[in-house]
Amino acid sequence: MRVRVVAFAFLAAVATPASAQHSRGSHAPSPPQGGTAPAARPSWDPPKPDRTIEIAVTEAGFEPASVTARKGERIRLVVKRRTDKTCAREFILDEFLIWQRLPLNEAVTETFVAGRTGEFRFSCLAGTVSGIFTVVE
């Protein structure tokens, strides 16, 4: 039993980086010579969408039930469920890997690129409320 404890303590000391082993007298690294702080990294901003498409969920279903985009267009899709009298509590557009829950009266946003042409069905989870997302050349 004692051998295991000693072996564990030895492994812990070996696996710990040298900077973490010696906590006495250690200090933060000094700033570089010249008195200036390192340059801040530039922030990355995602590309802006080419167009925003808004879809509302009402008692009649998705409105509009048909939307069209151009191939390669960056779409900002905003879906808002405005009624509780619907089974459409999710928005699913499988082709573009979009699965979003739709809280009542809250806009849900998804940004994606319409990467291929065709007609793609969007729907609720049960598939009873649906629409068509068409991508053209």
E-only strand ranges, 43-97: 51-58, 61-63, 66-70, 74-81, 90-93
Span 66-80, average pLDDT: 96
In terms of Cα–Cα distance, which of 48, 77, 51, 75 is closest to 64? Answer: 77
* Euclidean distance between CA atoms 91 and 106, whole angstroms: 13
* Euclidean distance between CA atoms 36 and 62, whole angstroms: 56
6 or 92, higher pLDDT: 92
For residue 6, the model assigns a pLDDT of 47
HSE on the CB side for 21, CA within 13 Å? 10
Predicted confidence (pLDDT) per residue in 14-29, tens digit: 455 554 444 455 555 5
pTM score, two decimals? 0.64
